[in-house]
């Protein structure tokens, strides 16, 4: 079965989204979107602390605890995980898996130790890859802020040898752009390893989801194409509403509107994204003869 995963990048309590890991806008609260995605039939969720690596700590423990009480699909948590004890705390808080990038590049032994203690099924290698103009794909760390000399495909082979259970492969250059997944990168990494690869970064419409699976991915993750579908403006106001109630402005929400989609974002007049529901993404996969699950794990 192909998994359809909603990715939620988080800063403080807020769900944020940007372009190519930059220029983030607040869309609402992470927990409320997580509940929406659970109800709508997402197979898994990914929580990414967008500032954790920068500050060398993950601050999602409380959000993870509250989320685990309300949703009953696998939850992967990423960002700022620097030790075995960090992994332990997140798993105890309710995470099913943790994804590690920056600390693994600095100390690959962390992946081996974590996989040995908690099991490979709990440990994900997050690979943030940037395709240069010459075609080379390099690993970036610190949530897409710092480049390394590591080749993304070679690094994927190394993390598999280290014992991780799967790879979360994100194309920085395609992130938020709506042009489709980086299929060349997906194909290269998927063919180089035997563990599952989650393709992430670039989905712009429901029709984009089957292609990375054909390129070898075992799962597809997306953010903006889902976020912009489920973020609904309240009539006459710039705020958004969920279940008929507008989000509050102030202590928890410092933005929470989607006017930027029409007025311009990151120097672009508009984004080439056609928001779709999770069920629409699954329908496209089924149309291509690919097996997907219904809501909450039902076939």
Which positions are annotated as active-site residues? 9, 128
Nearest to 265, CA basis, from 26, 2, 18, 4? 18
Sheet of 240-242: strands edge to edge?
232-233, 240-242, 245-246
Per-residue exposure over 38-76, b if at least 16 CB sit within 10 Å of its own CB, e if not: bebbbbbbbbbbbbbbeeeebbbbebbeebeeebebbbb
CA 88 → CA 9, 109, 257, distances in Å? 21, 16, 36
Task: Quickly count: other Cβ atoms within 10 Å of residue 112's Cβ.
Answer: 17
- Contact indicator for 45, 74 with CB cutoff of 8 Å: yes
In 3D space, the residue among 163, 182, 159, 162 whose CA is nearest the CA of residue 172 turns out to be: 182
Q: Quick count: other Cβ atoms within 10 Å of Cβ 134?
A: 5
């Amino acid at each position: 079965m192909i998994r359809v995963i909603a990715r939620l990048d988080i800063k403080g309590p807020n769900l944020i989204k940007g372009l190519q890991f930059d220029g983030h806008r607040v869309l609402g609260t992470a927990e409320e979107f997580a509940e929406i995605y659970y109800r709508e039939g997402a197979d898994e969720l990914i929580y990414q602390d967008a500032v954790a690596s920068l500050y060398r700590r993950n601050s999602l423990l409380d959000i993870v605890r509250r989320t685990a009480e309300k949703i009953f699909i696998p939850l992967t948590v990423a960002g700022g995980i620097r030790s075995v004890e960090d992994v332990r705390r997140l798993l105890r808080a309710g995470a099913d898996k943790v994804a590690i990038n920056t600390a693994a590049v600095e100390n690959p032994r962390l992946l081996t130790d974590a996989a040995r203690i908690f099991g490979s099924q709990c440990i994900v290698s997050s690979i943030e890859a940037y395709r240069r103009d010459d075609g080379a794909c390099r690993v970036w760390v610190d949530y897409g802020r710092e480049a390394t000399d590591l080749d993304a495909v070679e690094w994927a082979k190394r993390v598999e040898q280290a014992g991780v259970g799967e790879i979360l492969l994100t194309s920085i250059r395609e992130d938020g752009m709506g042009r489709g997944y980086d299929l060349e990168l997906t194909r290269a990494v998927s063919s180089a390893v035997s563990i599952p690869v989650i393709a992430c970064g670039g989905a712009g419409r429901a029709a984009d989801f089957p292609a990375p699976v054909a390129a070898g991915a075992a799962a597809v993750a997306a953010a903006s194409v889902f976020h912009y579908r489920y973020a609904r403006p309240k009539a006459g106001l710039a705020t958004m509403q969920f279940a008929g109630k507008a989000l509050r402005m102030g202590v928890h929400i410092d933005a929470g509107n989607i006017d930027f989609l029409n007025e311009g974002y990151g120097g672009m007049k508009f984004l080439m994204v056609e928001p779709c529901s999770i069920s629409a993404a699954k329908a496209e996969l089924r149309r291509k003869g690919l097996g997907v699950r219904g809501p909450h794990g039902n076939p």
